[in-house]
Amino acid sequence: MRISNLFFAAAASAALMSAPVLAADAKAEWRQVAYSCESGQDLTVAYRESGAAVQVTAADRPAVKLISRPAKSGFRFGDSRHELRGEGDAVTWQIGNKTPVKCTSQDPAALNLAAAATR
């Protein structure tokens, strides 16, 4: 039994040591881009590098995670109530039946992430 205890301890130690690496890899999958909107509102959009999802955060609302949806051009993410559409460094953010808000980014990464989202 002593050998199995040593084996268990070694396996547990290895798992704990790799946990920070896994957490760092999970963070590396998301890239944030800041957008300024015509309404004066600011949005932060975290793009999943795979292009499968985004997380949108507005100053006055909790973060919303949206999945990729088919788009005729550019990219589109949504759920039953929220929609983010975009192309290049510009996005349109809509909540429910409210008027869509147009936003742009000065971040050069926005163009690359938009291109990845359209794949």
Under 8 Å between Cβ of 58 and 37: no
How many CA atoms, within 13 angstroms, populate the side-chain half-sphere of residue 6? 3
State what percent of residues in the chain have pLDDT above 90: 60
Distance between CA 119 and CA 116 in Å, rounded?
A: 6
Judged against a pLDDT cut of 70, whether residue 7 lies above it is answered with: no
Judged against a pLDDT cut of 90, whether residue 49 lies above it is answered with: no
Judged against a pLDDT cut of 70, whether residue 14 lies above it is answered with: no
Contacts of 101 (CB under 8 A, 6+ apart): 37, 38, 39, 41, 92, 93, 94
Distance between CA 116 and CA 80 in Å, rounded?
A: 23
How many CA atoms, within 13 angstroms, populate the side-chain half-sphere of residue 89? 9
Supply the pLDDT for residue 16: 39
Lowest mean per-residue pLDDT among 3-17, 18-32, 76-90: 3-17
Q: Which residue ranges form the domains of the chain, and what is each CATH number?
A: 30-117 (2.40.128.200)
Under 8 Å between Cβ of 84 and 47: no
Judged against a pLDDT cut of 90, whether residue 71 lies above it is answered with: yes
Judged against a pLDDT cut of 80, whether residue 28 lies above it is answered with: no
How many CA atoms, within 13 angstroms, populate the side-chain half-sphere of residue 105? 23
pTM: 0.74
